Amino acid sequence: MDRLSRQEIIKNYVSIKPFENPQQNDDTIREKVLLSPHGIGISTLAHALRSRGVHATSCSFYKDVYSYLSDVCLNLDQNPMDLRVKIRDAFFEEALETYDIFHFRFGLTFFDPDKSDLKIYSSKGKKVVAHLTGVEARLPSVARSFNNRYIQEGAWGWTEERIREHLNVLSAYIDHAIICDHELMPHVQPYFKKVHIVPYAINANPFTPKYPSPDIEPIVVHAPSNREVKGTEFILKAVERLQKEGHKFQFRLVEKIPREQAKQIYQKAAIVIDQLSIGTYANLSMEAMALGKPVICYIRDDLRSTFPPGLPIVSATPDTIYEVLKDLLNRPEDWPKLGLAGRSYVEQTHNYDKVAQKLIDVYNQL
């Protein structure tokens, strides 16, 4: 193994999809961009950037539920620890020679947890941006200052102490951070010189809308990635209470099933319930809106006006989910209207072209 070259290690252990980089034009940037280390976001953003002529590559470090969407997967979790280090180092060296901009989602880098690679980018003249999306930047004490008592302390293992340490290390080397909406601004702004808002990106074209019919028994769907964060306990209690009271609807709890199968379930839904604790929305809400479904998700009152006009999400908290779901179930004539509004909102706010241009604007400031 020691005699294997960098190229041989990458060839033997790294999964690389064949894809054609776009022809760059005068309207875009010349720098090459690497987005990592995991999640659906890096792939959608890379596709969005390529649609604007940017040489962009998404790279997942591990083989997880979303890694099949990435252009590159290092498969680190598929190999023993000593080999993981060799694979990571080989690809890192290759990336330093290939890419000009390193775009790290969740603030995670090649050399976590110490993030010692951040010093190297600076010495090599590389540009770096930290893209923060949730628990890795959301400070419970700050959330409580905005009267959000629903945030779960220590979600996904991120304690307040760990989050602050994480933000301090990142901001020591990175001047620019990206967040998806205003919800994270007070959490992140004290640490970085410049914070940019770039919405989530989604390609709505593969999502064929199926607007709910008020004439058939509705299906209510909830798909928690983390039950505590999503408020699943309160949703289940509300569903049980409503069904005992005689409200006619089916309920589907979608967990640990393949993405395409889950998407088929969403398509049959009349109502999709997302999360009840954070105060903003993310991928599930966007996909449900792209499918033409009414969405219930907690949108903080003070944040509603910061989103583009027309956000049709029906807000609910753990305290109000019973009343909100009951009310929406009793308004079947509004389901198609909310579905149409959601599809329109996603097409306008989260389309590749607009999001890619916002990213390009950020990169030009690095």
Which residue ranges form the domains of the chain, and what is each CATH number? Answer: 6-201+351-363 (3.40.50.2000), 219-349 (3.40.50.2000)
Residue 28 pLDDT = 78
Nearest to 182 by CA among 70, 306, 85: 306
User: In the prediction, which pLDDT does 268 show?
Assistant: 96
What pTM value is reported for the model? 0.93
Read off the pLDDT of each residue in 62-86 and give the average, rounded to a whole number: 92
Averaged pLDDT for residues 213-238: 93
Is the pLDDT confidence value at 99 over 90?
Answer: yes
Residue 116's nearest CA partner among 74, 167, 169, 161 is: 169
Is pLDDT at 3 greater than 70 in this prediction? no
pLDDT at 236: 98
pLDDT of residue 1: 43
Report residue 144's pLDDT band, with 50, 70 and 90 as the boundaries.
confident
Q: Which of 258, 265, 259 is nearest to 222 (CA)?
A: 265
For the segment 32-36, the average pLDDT, to the nearest whole number, is 97
- For residue 15, the Cα-to-chain-centroid distance in whole angstroms is 23
Per-residue pLDDT at 152 exceeds 80:
no
- Residue 209: per-residue pLDDT: 97
For 82-91, write each residue's pLDDT tens digit: 999 999 999 9
Q: Mind listing the pLDDT tens digit for each residue in 188-203?
A: 999 999 999 999 999 9
Flag whether pLDDT at 21 surpasses 80.
no
Per-residue pLDDT band for 161 (boundaries 50, 70, 90) equals: very high
pLDDT at 50 over 70: yes
Average the pLDDT over 304-327 and give the result: 97
pLDDT of residue 225: 86
Residue 271: CB atoms within 10 A of its CB come to: 25
Structure tokens at 44: 């959608």
